[in-house]
Structure 1
């Protein structure tokens, strides 16, 4: 019996050791896990990225060849180490719109979305994640903060790129802020990694221009411009959004809003990957009536500087999305967009029958254009 037990124990140890070897070396046995852009064999390929990789099994995760969803198992001979070797600025884009900016110092026409992403496409998304570079005008606004002599950058709001050196956002995001404490980050997607196929870009804010009629007490005319110290450089993940014509209406449109805000009002943390929600626009009088059914009361009047969207259960922008763009398509187009609004405020998040409230951008197009002219922004910057 003792010999039998000894053999069984040895067998169990061998099986456990073999399983361990398989789990370690079976994932990427023919090479090494590297970022997508560091593997030559990936160039010209459309990569499908499974967002479940690296997520715990309890949360629906799956095991992949590599531990991180933005890495690929690459043959050792194809790995590009260091920065001495030139790599393509973009691996591949599955968008049908020509958007290569390699070696080009000009931005393309405004408002073109990359519906299939840039460099890779995600599969098994679970939380309305955008594709990488899908909305290339999206900007994260960061504020420098110091705690215990350690300086960090805290995310405070979203914004959108309307000129190479100008970001559009909500006034409530930057009211009472010092320009030198703010940084604009364009081309960001997953805030917890830098393994995307194109890097984000950062520029310091030089000046804050708040709409002269902004009322901080009631948030009327809640719009502002951030003028940057240096312009962003155009790339597939860094482009511009179109401003709507003065007075344009989008009442019958289905539009998109994007942001890194919380999934719901009681969530503890911000989203990691940029999210999108599709929202129907809500006519002004209908929105006002819906808001009167909330704690605002029956006498509430919705100011004409606001527009509304949403009102569907569980589908909405939320805390942390302030300043982010609400985008509506050009008539007859699924890939080109105007920025119809800016995330302003709401009663809760995702409450059925209660739309979210946005700045009505078409009311301010003339003011924005006047400010851009003062800054010397001109058509020579664009294709």
Structure 2
């Protein structure tokens, strides 16, 4: 609201307050307030919220809000862990129970700000391209195929996102432009080999509770049979024909390469060979990455610290979504650890000791030693159909028609 003179300043302030109040409930006597400001139940200093209520409309409030009786509304407090700068600077830390509230009945979805390394890779025009992961405060790891048609001046990355449909999160999203894209030079779109790219940012993110890097594995590290987590905003299933606004989080088993290749031969023919730059995860019915998830991370718990995570894979391609005995295919990050280190040493602007990707806090050693904008459309990248890949045309949010067979998880 524009207030042109001081005479009306008090009136404008009063009207602004009125406009900010959102009433809800059957009798419109309750108010929509942030979950942590409504005394309807707390555990471990966090409000407890049933996600299914959110999916049923949440009484007209946003996903980050409760429809709260006036008698239950609490004042904002600075006496909590997330009001102060983070004490831990290690990579791979998670907010397991969310930062300001905890979701119940949330299988398949991430808690609020649970995975602080998760990035949305977007165009300057607010079109969503896919996912990525923060591996240093100025470096994002993603897939080659979702960036290949764009220059660095066209792409931004968004950190701190959880629900694309609201701007009411306690901690704001932050967008930073890309100054340089370094793609692995021998990407093979016939089989998805060498499908990764590094986005070097124009400036560093500030380390915070909801924005921090994930760890990287040592060169050629193995993850076979480990249970790991995938996150992203792509489709939940092919037949649903829509992307998710709230971040997904799905636990998946890493499948051995020989087993995965055998399962893919059944679908692709006996000539199929899984490239050594790829790993597989999933194969459990209803649990998978899907279209719109390209570039998103597959994160596995550290052996010596299971509460922290390192990145095993990058969403690459798959056959359908969530089909039994049909795992998804991911770029094997460990195969490229040396190359990633070389590019970061050459191009990263992280030079401060406390923020450098070359320090132990942010980068697991090889030997265990601004503005915010909402996306208006989602636009999966088009890739020419070939033996292994088909892809839908760019679509608006939510997308309409998607392929039912092999798809690039863009």
Q: Does TM, scored on the shorter chain, surpass 0.5?
A: yes
CA distance in 2, matches of 1:180, 1:76: 50
Structure 1 runs (4+) greater than 6 angstroms displaced: 37-44, 76-80
Q: Post-superposition shift, 1:240?
A: 0.6
Q: 1:376 to 1:101 in 2, by over 3 A?
A: farther
Q: How does 1:103-118 map to 2 (within 5 A)?
A: 103=85, 108-118=89-99
Q: Post-superposition shift, 1:22?
A: 8.5
Q: Are the counterparts in 1 of residues 223 and 312 from structure 2 also a CA contact under 8 Å?
A: yes
Show the counterpart of 1:177.
150
Name the Cα RMSD after superposition.
2.9
CA distance in 2, matches of 1:228, 1:79: 39
Q: 1:300 to 1:54 in 2, by over 3 A?
A: closer
2:292 is aligned with 1:313: no
2:65 is aligned with 1:71: yes
CA distance in 2, matches of 1:298, 1:265: 26
2:218 is aligned with 1:242: no
Question: What do residues 178-213 of structure 1 show as CA deviations (whole Å, max 9, x unaligned)?
Answer: 211111001100110122221111111111110122
Q: 1:289 to 1:164 in 2, by over 3 A?
A: same
Q: Post-superposition shift, 1:52?
A: 2.9
Show the counterpart of 1:4.
none
CA distance in 2, matches of 1:22, 1:358: 45
Question: What do residues 33-63 of structure 1 show as CA deviations (whole Å, max 9, x unaligned)?
Answer: 333477899999421122233544xxxx6x6
Question: What do residues 282-332 of structure 1 show as CA deviations (whole Å, max 9, x unaligned)?
Answer: 1111111110000x2101111000001111111111001110000111115
**Greater shift in the superposed pair: 240-249 or 325-334:** 325-334
Q: Post-superposition shift, 1:266?
A: 2.9
Q: Are the counterparts in 1 of residues 46 and 101 from structure 2 also a CA contact under 8 Å?
A: yes
Q: 1:287 to 1:160 in 2, by over 3 A?
A: same
2:303 is aligned with 1:300: no
Q: 1:52 to 1:210 in 2, by over 3 A?
A: same
2:355 is aligned with 1:381: yes
Q: Post-superposition shift, 1:334?
A: 3.0
CA distance in 2, matches of 1:206, 1:141: 14
Q: Which has the larger radius of gyration?
A: 1
Helix, strand or coil for the counterpart of 2:344?
helix
Helix, strand or coil for the counterpart of 2:290?
coil
| Correspondence for 1:186 among 138, 156, 159 | 159
Q: For structure 2, list consecutive stretches of 5 or more residues without a partner in the other structure.
A: 1-23, 362-410
Show the counterpart of 1:23.
26
| Correspondence for 1:133 among 113, 130, 147 | 113
Q: 1:33 to 1:342 in 2, by over 3 A?
A: same
Q: Post-superposition shift, 1:230?
A: 1.4
Q: 1:71 to 1:373 in 2, by over 3 A?
A: same
Show the counterpart of 1:52.
52
Show the counterpart of 2:33.
34
Q: 1:178 to 1:352 in 2, by over 3 A?
A: same
Q: Post-superposition shift, 1:216?
A: 3.6
CA distance in 2, matches of 1:219, 1:303: 8
Q: How does 1:119-158 map to 2 (within 5 A)?
A: 119-125=100-106, 128-145=108-125, 153-158=126-131
Q: Are the counterparts in 2 of residues 114 and 335 from structure 1 also a CA contact under 8 Å?
A: no
**Greater shift in the superposed pair: 348-357 or 45-54:** 45-54
Show the counterpart of 1:350.
322
Helix, strand or coil for the counterpart of 1:206?
strand
Show the counterpart of 1:364.
336
Q: 1:368 to 1:71 in 2, by over 3 A?
A: same
Q: Post-superposition shift, 1:370?
A: 0.9
Q: How does 1:302-341 map to 2 (within 5 A)?
A: 302-341=274-313
